[in-house]
Amino acid sequence: MTPEMNADQIAEIRPALREAIDGAPDTCVTFTVAGAPEKWLQVLGSTINTAYPHEGDPEEWLHSLPRISPQIEVEACQPGLFATFQFPAIEITPTARWIDGWFVQVLGCLPGEYHLDIQCERM
């Protein structure tokens, strides 16, 4: 998978991340794969909560995702349902690449072929 393949997804993710950062800690941004509501991810402050359809520790997946920071911590997890990660800080482009990687590698979306519905909410 080349970065160019997912340029559209990263371009979709970046402005919504900017909204989450600018509105932190009161703005929640939810990304949902169009036509697949079970594939979702939320950003609130420096926390990412996401669908996690696998068994086992979600930390195992962190090795295959774009590197952001060595301090990403699994805050909570219920295998088969969700995983919550705590980031030291949300940086727009690296985090957008990480989110795209999560949708492709963990949630099984086809690189460059999935589309996101994005919802921003004030909490």
Tokens found for residue 33: 């794969």
Q: What does the DSSP 8-state code read for residue 87?
A: -
CA-based end-to-end distance of the chain:
36
Q: What is the mean pLDDT of the chain?
A: 91
pTM recorded for the entire structure: 0.91
Residue 115 has pLDDT above 80, yes or no: yes
pLDDT at 118 (0 to 100):
97
Taken in order 3, 1, 44, 37, the sign of the CA dihedral is: positive
| pLDDT for 123 beyond 50 | yes
Helix, strand, coil shares of the chain as percentages rounded to 5? 35, 30, 35
Express each pLDDT in 40-90 by its tens digit.
999 999 999 999 999 999 998 988 888 776 678 999 999 999 999 998 888
Above pLDDT 90, what percent of the chain? Answer: 73
